[in-house]
Amino acid sequence: MDLRREKDADYVLGTSDLERERLRAQGDAVGPLTERFFAQAGIAPGLRVLDLGCGVGDVSLLVARMVGIQGEVVGVDREAGHLEAARARVAELGLPNVRFIQGDFRALGADLGGFDAAVGRLVLMYQADPVDAVRRVAERVRPGGVITFVEYDSTVPSTSLPELPLRDEMSRWIWETLRASGAEAQMGFKLHPVLTAAGLADVEVRAEALVNTPTTRSPGSALVRVLLPKMLEFGIATEEEVGIETLEARLQKEIDKAGGVNVGLLVFGAWGRCPARA
């Protein structure tokens, strides 16, 4: 299985304040399952952890709770605006064991030191060569240390009972836009071969689904709002079809009327251990 592409995918979600708000909402939605995956992987008190593509700091803050004051979290991201927001959150919480650096996690300086573990959420789907990316991360993690990733996957489409056509259509808009940008829409299913090819040992994979009901609030409409300019550019949907200003209300009305349940997103967690170095 050749998992390489010509170049990194464009991050079409952008770097606006609206995207930073969406990232925090996403963190709330997938935080509990992320924590479950990380706990199974072995993220525990006292570890020094590298957070790859940390964005506005949701995963870093989650991991900081898991490693405790005896541990440390270093988040790395290329976007200065995201890091500014992440640092503000850490300062507000008064956390002494979390810091952030700007850069590409595939090319970190040796002065950063080594780590007991590395984590990443929605990172590999944008990498031109995810196997090489994991190998580069493994160089910074001690032998026996864990590397774990959380990734979405589009292989199983949005499914509803009874049918919820608008919600399923929204899922299609989102995934087609991400594919058109070059993102890997099946990274969840590909995590095992990626981690194995990168040389990690004892690779394990889990998956959970995000389920929408009349009493839950899906972050999907916020994602559509951020992606809308690219949806229009790629010809995936029209402004009239999306109706962004009323989309969330229409989604809620649809699921309320049907009394339905929607399995909207499959989320994978995978991890493995760094082998001994020659």
Split at pLDDT 50, 70, 90, the class of 14 is confident
Share of the chain above pLDDT 90, in %: 78
Most distant pair of Cα atoms in the chain: their distance: 62
Q: Which residue would you say has higher pLDDT here, 275 or 146?
A: 146
pLDDT at 22 over 90: no
Mean pLDDT of the region 50-60: 96
**Total residues found in the chain within this entry:** 278
What mean pLDDT is reported for the chain?
Answer: 93
What is the rounded CA–CA span in Å between residue 125 and residue 191? Answer: 10
Structure tokens at 232: 């229009």
What is the rounded CA–CA span in Å between residue 248 and residue 112? Answer: 43
pLDDT at 166 over 80: yes
Split at pLDDT 50, 70, 90, the class of 16 is confident
Q: Given this model, what pLDDT does residue 196 score?
A: 98
CA angle (58 as vertex; 63, 189 as ends), nearest 5: 80
Residue 142 makes CB contacts below 8 A (sequence gap 6+) with 114, 115, 116, 274
Establish how many alpha carbons lie within 13 A of residue 75's alpha carbon, considering only the half-sphere containing its beta carbon.
Answer: 30
Establish how many alpha carbons lie within 13 A of residue 57's alpha carbon, considering only the half-sphere containing its beta carbon.
Answer: 25
Split at pLDDT 50, 70, 90, the class of 1 is low
- In the chain, what are the domains? 17-273 (3.40.50.150)
pLDDT at 251 over 80: yes
Q: Distance of CA 120 to CAs 62, 153, 269, Å?
A: 12, 15, 10
CB 246 within 8 A of CB 170: no
Q: Given this model, what pLDDT does residue 2 score?
A: 65
